[in-house]
Chain A
């Protein structure tokens, strides 16, 4: 069953077309990876899906409903959550308070002004559960600005997870991480709940090939190829344009 669908999505910045006629379907509960060279339009595509940017033309459908005209907040409400390529957190709050903020917004508690936040014990438990899910339970009380970069990346994913999304968009979750941190993130995203449709932008081909049920290759804003990891590895056009002539991903072990 299709959860998310794009139809002939286009976006240009001036004369530069960053997304061109992108038509894709994302089945519910499946895992996708979007790969492509720098400047291929991957993050722009995420910005279009999440509503940070409005498409010039084309449509986005969630569960068959056209959501093209909804803004980022409304799309978050109906189940599209994203993490960011650059950490985008609440620096003065603790890890737990960051997650609790996301939970409070998701559960509709955030507007209430007649009871202290502390008295919502369910909220605290939910936040703790998410912290545990991403492996941050030991750092729960630490303020974000005192947190290591790798843990901040984990919290970035945690905030998106706290939204209880239907569709989870992870923008380069391992970017800038050390090998150990990358291994932790790899573990984290492999253990994400299977019922969430997850789309990951990622450069680490080891992670991509293991994680994804299906891979989409973007190049100059167009869908160059899509298919299972095996199909992508075998695709001659992908080898030529992206993986390098010798059939070996740049910066990655031979598959």
Chain B
């Protein structure tokens, strides 16, 4: 048996999906809250990773999370919109803002892209922090969850149902990004990451592809925000703070940038470690930081990335000359 790199990646994702769906309902209500939190964070990490496909690493991704959360919260609480419609409008706002911000941001790359995205997210943060509409720094409660009882029989105000819903949404988001990655568009993003100049020379408009990736990333990021604010029922400027942008970046890097499933594992790990560390230590972020530095040193390409490299190595030693699978 010799699975390709891609097949192993998909297998890991499928195993996590099935395990989560089976195990989660059998656990305590508290653990179910953690499952929901991890699944939402995983969706957020996926939105960062699809952008990273094109070679852009954002340090302002909490902007999209906050945007989705505030759009959903604002529409449902302040405008009394039905939650279902608010979900779609929040995602649409994520796309539109992604396009507008992207027009400026994706002209840059590397450290400049990091600075531009960070600045944009901080602008949003300072706006909602002071905005009287959203009750500023104090935030705003009473954000409802989706009502899908008549459709599916799940009452989302139930921890077990909500966690299941979050896991299913995460699986859907994962399928979406995995599918896009194998389309010509996704392949082009991957090629842009490897060599943007050659794409230009071959007639590909790097700016347009990256802009589209940024908008897609904005849509998924906003969706993660919609889920997040349904989970906590509470709007807070902290959703858009740079600390959240840092968290999701750490998650993606620790899990393995560009592997998608790595972000999901990273999200689970962060939520779990946060929980056990914060209940035992006061300065738990210090310990978390130490653990992540250790992982980054030992596994430079992240957990999943390093594991896949290791399986590559084994395959190569078994069958020389090593041939890669064709992804055409």
Do these two chains interact?
yes
Q: Which residues of B contact A127 (CB under 8 A)?
A: 328
Residue of A nearest to B203 (CB): A76
Q: Is A104 an interface residue (CB 8 A)?
A: yes
- At the interface, yes or no: B322 with Cβ under 8 Å from chain A? yes
B316 nearest in chain A by CB position: A146
Given contacts A73-B200, A93-B327, A94-B324, contact A110 B182 (CB under 8 A): no
A13 within 8 A of B: no
Known contacts being A90-B191, A96-B328, A117-B184, is A102 close to B197, with CB within 8 Å? no
Cα distance A25–B196 when bound, in Å? 31
Give chain A residues whose Cβ lies under 8 Å from the Cβ of B197.
88
Q: A112-B184, A113-B184, A163-B203 are in contact. Are A89 and B328 (CB under 8 A)?
A: no
Contact of B194 with A91 in the complex, beta carbons under 8 Å? yes
Residues of B within 8 A of A76 (CB): 200-203
As a 0/1 sequence over residues 141 to 159 of chain A, the CB contacts with chain B under 8 angstroms (1 = contact) are 1110010000000000001
Q: Is the CB of A120 within 8 A of B184?
A: yes
CA distance A113 to B182 in the complex (A): 8
The reply on A27 being an interface residue by CB < 8 A is no
| B203/A73 in contact, CB under 8 A | yes
B182 partner, pick from A50, A81, A84, A118, beta carbons under 8 A: A118
Q: Which residue of A lies closest to B194 (CB)?
A: A90
B201 is contacted by which of A50, A93, A109, A115 (Cβ under 8 Å)?
Answer: A50
**Contact between A93 and B191, CB atoms less than 8 A apart:** yes
Q: How far is the CB of A43 from chain B (nearest CB, A)?
A: 14
Tell me if B109 is interfacial: C-beta within 8 Å of chain A: no
Shortest Cβ distance from B190 into chain A, in angstroms? Answer: 8
Q: In chain A, residues 186-208, which have Cβ atoms closer than 8 Å to a Cβ of chain B? A: none
B180, closest chain A residue (CB)? A113
Q: Is B132 an interface residue (CB 8 A)?
A: no
- Is there an interface contact between A92 and B194, defined as CB atoms closer than 8 Å? yes
In the complex, chain B residues whose CB is within 8 Å of the CB of A90: 191, 194-195, 198
Question: Could you tell me if B203 and A114 are in contact, using CB atoms closer than 8 angstroms?
Answer: no
Q: Does A111 contact B (CB under 8 A)?
A: yes
- Cross-chain contact of A104 among B182, B184, B200 (Cβ < 8 A): B184
A112–B187 alpha-carbon span in the complex (Å): 10
Q: What residues on A are CB-neighbors of B321 within 8 Å?
A: 142, 146
Which of chain A's residues 52-104 have a Cβ closer than 8 Å to chain B?
A: 52, 71-73, 76-77, 81-82, 84, 88-94, 96-97, 100-102, 104
B107 at the interface (CB under 8 A from A): no
Docked-complex contact B183 and A89, CB < 8 angstroms:
no
Given A105-B188, A142-B323, are A72 and B183 also a contact pair (CB < 8 Å)?
no
Q: B204 interface residue, CB < 8 Å from A?
A: yes
Q: Which residues of A contact B324 (CB under 8 A)?
A: 94, 141-143, 146
Chain B interface mostly: helix
Establish whether residues A140 and B326, one from each chain, have CB atoms under 8 Å apart when the complex forms.
yes
Q: How many residues of A contact B (CB 8 A)?
A: 47
Which A residues are in CB contact (< 8 Å) with B199? Answer: 101, 105
Tell yes or no: B130 within 8 A of A by CB. no
The digit string for B201-217, where 1 denotes a CB below 8 A from any CB of A, is 11111101100100000
Chain B residues near A105 (CB-CB < 8 A): 188, 199, 202-204
**Interface residues contributed by chain B, number (CB under 8 Å):** 34
A117/B327 in contact, CB under 8 A: yes
Tell me, rounded to whole Å, the shortest Cβ–Cβ distance linking A76 to chain B.
3
CA gap between A146 and B183 in the complex, in Å: 25
Contact A113 B198 (CB under 8 A): no
CB pair A110 B188 closer than 8 Å: yes
Give chain B residues whose Cβ lies under 8 Å from the Cβ of A118: 182, 327-328
Question: Is B186 interfacial (CB-CB < 8 Å)?
Answer: yes
Query: B81: CB under 8 A from chain A?
Result: no
Q: Within the complex, what minimum Cβ distance (angstroms) separates A77 from chain B? A: 5
- Whether, in the assembled complex, A116 has its beta carbon less than 8 Å from a beta carbon of chain B, the answer is yes
B195 engages A116 (CB within 8 Å): no
Which residues on B sit within 8 Å (CB–CB) of A91? 194-195
Q: Which residues of A contact B183 (CB under 8 A)?
A: 112-117
A28 is an interface residue with CB less than 8 A from chain B: no
Contacts of A84 in B (CB 8 A): 201
B195 touches A89 (CB 8 A): yes
B99 to chain A, nearest CB (A): 15
Taking the complex as formed, is A11 at the interface, i.e. its CB lies under 8 A from any CB of chain B?
A: no
Q: When the two chains form their complex, are residues B184 and A163 in contact, meaning their CB atoms are under 8 A apart?
A: no
Most buried by B among A50, A82, A117, A163: A117
Contact residues in A for B206 (Cβ distance below 8 Å)? 73
Give Cα A123–Cα B199 distance, bound, in whole angstroms.
17
Q: How far is A111 from B204 in the complex, measured between Cα atoms in Å?
A: 9
Tell whether, in the assembled complex, residue A110 and residue B198 are in contact, meaning their CB atoms are under 8 Å apart: no
B185 touches A116 (CB 8 A): no
A31 touches B (CB below 8 Å) = no
Pairs of residues from A and B, 5 with the lowest C-beta to C-beta distance, nearest first:
A76-B203, A113-B185, A143-B324, A113-B183, A90-B194
Chain B interface residues toward A at CB < 8 A? 179-180, 182-188, 190-191, 194-195, 197-206, 208-209, 212, 321-328
What are 18 A-B pairs at a CB distance below 8 A? A76-B200, A88-B197, A90-B194, A93-B327, A94-B323, A94-B327, A97-B326, A97-B327, A101-B188, A101-B191, A106-B203, A112-B183, A113-B185, A115-B183, A117-B187, A142-B323, A146-B322, A162-B202
Interface residues of A (CB under 8 A from B): 50, 52, 71-73, 76-77, 81-82, 84, 88-94, 96-97, 100-102, 104-106, 109-118, 120, 123-124, 127, 140-143, 146, 159, 162-163
